[in-house]
Amino acid sequence: MAIARPFRALMLLAVVLWCFFLYQIFKPTPTLHGPGDRYQNFERDPTLDPTGEPEGTLVRTSERYAPDAVDTDRIDATLLALVRNEEVDDMVSSMKDLERTWNHKFNYPWTFFNDVEFTEEFKRKTSAATNAKCHYELIPAEHWDAPRWIDKQIFDESAAALEKSGVQYAKMMSYHQMCRWNSGLFYKHPALARTRWYWRVEPKVHFFCDVDYDVFRYMQDNNKTYGFTINLYDDPKTLPTLWPETVKFLAEHPNYLHENNAIKWVVDDVRRPDHNKKAQGYSTCHFWSNFEVGDMDFWRSQAYEDYFNHLDRAGGFFYERWGDAPVHSIALGLFEDSSKIHWFRDIGYQHIPFFNCPNSPKCKGCVTGRLTDGEAWLHREDCRPTWFKYAGMG
């Protein structure tokens, strides 16, 4: 007896579906050993290689680093945070991580900044998280408020256009103020007048690795200016005129360009040509400045002071959304010796959604070689390969 054609079609479909089901169950498992093996930017992510302490002079803890030591080995440095009162619990979480992995050995002071007075709750919770001294500072209005040459109507119109194009925080005036303050005003606060070195720490970040040397002394003793962990591309929609303004500045001050600069990193158009084009000649590569260990003498230099003032008068901190990360990074890439910029590959760090997680027995809580635990497309935001190409891994 012949089988009806519709029934034969159904039987064939059932066989196909069954075969597909069996394939899904028994298909070979990809030979992946960790997130680093899936990495798109390197043949092998350098954080997968065994990581030790940096070369050079290293100073260990001693009784001279005790919180109340009079004859101390601590230098003029501070852990620095711009933070709101309502972020106190997230700030304490960050503090506990850094105290556990590093600062309980060295007891460097914490300096907190806010555009309003800190609450007693904030002071009580943060001071309880460390044995080191804590300082609570109010940002002067003249450092925080938009400068007098910023037109509020133009800001509102520009912010609306930026928001329509998908730029985050475009209409949030406080975000623009924060970027400007972090770019060129934090180191001018009277509380930091006698401080040279800083380590920026934000709420809700994580530190994963024990660090057994004085990071500030490492910077000083080995002639370093700036230290980073993560190096990313920025959104070119936030800064379309930042590089053109920089070019104008360089035309007026060609002598500020350092002979061993990293300008090729700043203007690279090979890895992300679309970014370079949209940013009018800037690669958008930047050191992710939520982690930075720096020498404020660089920001206080004449070259950087002139550069920041030029940018400030151009208005891009408000009419666009110039961030402190690209501003700092461009200045470092142009005006500083690139050998004085250090990748802290041994410091495990996370600021959502990116990691720096080295292969070291001193690290726990992160996955070696993992750049991000977010969407796969986030891997293309990594600009470390370009930095390593032009400046090395020092």
Q: Which residue segment(s) compose the domain that 340 sits in?
A: 73-391
- pLDDT for 28: 46
Q: Is residue 177 part of a domain?
A: yes
Catalytic residues: 292
Q: Is residue 160 part of a domain?
A: yes
Q: Is residue 3 part of a domain?
A: no
How many domains is the chain built from?
1
The number of residues in the chain equals 394
Q: Is residue 23 part of a domain?
A: no
Please state, rounded to an integer, the average pLDDT across all residues of the chain.
92
pLDDT tens profile 149-203: 999 999 999 999 999 999 999 999 999 999 999 999 999 999 999 999 999 999 9
Q: Is residue 146 part of a domain?
A: yes
pLDDT tens profile 304-329: 999 999 999 999 999 999 999 999 99
pLDDT tens profile 11-43: 665 665 556 555 544 544 333 333 333 445 666
Q: Is residue 357 part of a domain?
A: yes
- pLDDT for 19: 61
- pLDDT for 37: 39
pLDDT tens profile 261-278: 999 999 999 999 999 999
- pLDDT for 394: 76
CATH code of 365's domain: 3.90.550.10
